Amino acid sequence: MEEVKISEVKTDEKSSGLQFFEGRIQAGFPSPAQGEYADSIDLNRALVTNPAATFCARVIGNSMVDAGINEGDLLIIDRSLTPQDGNIAVCFVDGDFTVKRLAVRDDGIFLTPANASFPEIRVSEDSNFQVWGVVSHIIKRV
């Protein structure tokens, strides 16, 4: 099973802002720069809705590459969100953490990878299973 390292997101009263370009950056044809630099953006405030229930984890493995989640990516995981069919979630299954897409079907709950090389995991009634949190953001290093 794919390993996920978990760590808590810490926030405090101090802002840890980065310089922020207010305009939009084209991913298609270039256009003239129209924005101005704002003071800063605080990524904790921009990415974390509920700090007390939010954690981050670094991905190890490649079972979710077709969902845009690669080894080394940082996941922002919100434990306050109610897990729903189709969500990408961090789950605890029989002693291990894994990140997969939740699939709730008539015949049970399945943890679906986003890589055809990996099998789907059926959560049995005997499994020690918990949805630990819903992935709200993916942070990538390029």
Distances (CA, A) of 78 to 47, 55, 71, 87, 122: 10, 7, 20, 12, 23
CA 20, CA 36: separation in Å to the nearest integer? Answer: 9
- The amino acid occupying position 112 is T
Tokens at residue 11, please?
């926030």
DSSP codes of every residue in 35-47: --EEEEEEHHHHH
Structural contact between residues 93 and 110, judged by C-beta atoms closer than 8 angstroms: no
Answer whether 38's CB lies under 8 Å from 20's CB: yes
How many whole angstroms separate alpha carbon 5 and alpha carbon 107?
31
Active site residues per annotation: 63, 100
